[in-house]
Structure 1
Amino acid sequence: MISENETVAVFGQFTYTSVHAQNTFTFPFAIKAVVKDGLITYFQFMEDTYASATSFRVGGEWIIQQDSDSTKNFSVSKNS
């Protein structure tokens, strides 16, 4: 945790387990907050949303489009 004036930044990692799929994953997170008069007036939480989504996955294939050029698409299977 670091701070400067009213702005605070927190960095760390979480380990989650999805309840039904029982997939466990660990990912980094970051929090930015602004504190005024002892109250949080701004809060931003950043996480690896892709890792969160994969924890609920039990099978199948995902087609990932990362660019406007669809020839750059790639697939991710459960075993990848």
Structure 2
Amino acid sequence: MISENETIAVFGQFTYTYVHTQNTFTSPFSIKAIVKDGLITYFQFMEDTYASAASFHVGGEWSIPQDSDSAKNFTVSATLEH
């Protein structure tokens, strides 16, 4: 955790388990918050959303387009380590 004046930043990692599929993944996270008069007035949470989305899949894969050149697309597999 780092703070300067009213701004606070937190960095770490969580291990998530999607209960329905039992898919587990570990994601780094960061939080930025602004605190004024003891109250949080701004809160931003960031995580690995691709890993989070993949944990809901039970099979298959999907393609992520990079731009109009389909050769630059990449594929995300739903297979995760347990």
- TM-score, normalization by structure 1: 0.89
The 4+ residue runs of structure 1 with deviation greater than 4 A are none
Identity of aligned residues (%): 81
- TM-score, normalization by structure 2: 0.87
CA shift for structure 1 position 71: 2.0
User: Cα gap change, 1:45/1:79 in structure 2, threshold over 3 Å: closer, same or farther?
Assistant: closer
- Greater RCO (CA < 8 Å, at least 6 residues apart): 2
Aligned to 2:61: 61
Q: Mapping of 1:8-19 within 5 angstroms?
A: 8-19=8-19
Q: Deviations over 1:10-69 (max 9, x none)?
A: 001000000111000001000000000000000000111101001111101212212232
Alignment gaps of 5+ in structure 2: none
CA shift for structure 1 position 72: 1.3
Alignment gaps of 5+ in structure 1: none
State how far apart, in whole Å, the 2-side matches of 1:77 and 1:31 are. Answer: 27
Q: What amino acid is aligned across from residue 43 of structure 1 in structure 2?
A: F
User: Cα gap change, 1:44/1:79 in structure 2, threshold over 3 Å: closer, same or farther?
Assistant: closer
User: Cα gap change, 1:26/1:79 in structure 2, threshold over 3 Å: closer, same or farther?
Assistant: closer
User: Cα gap change, 1:35/1:29 in structure 2, threshold over 3 Å: closer, same or farther?
Assistant: same
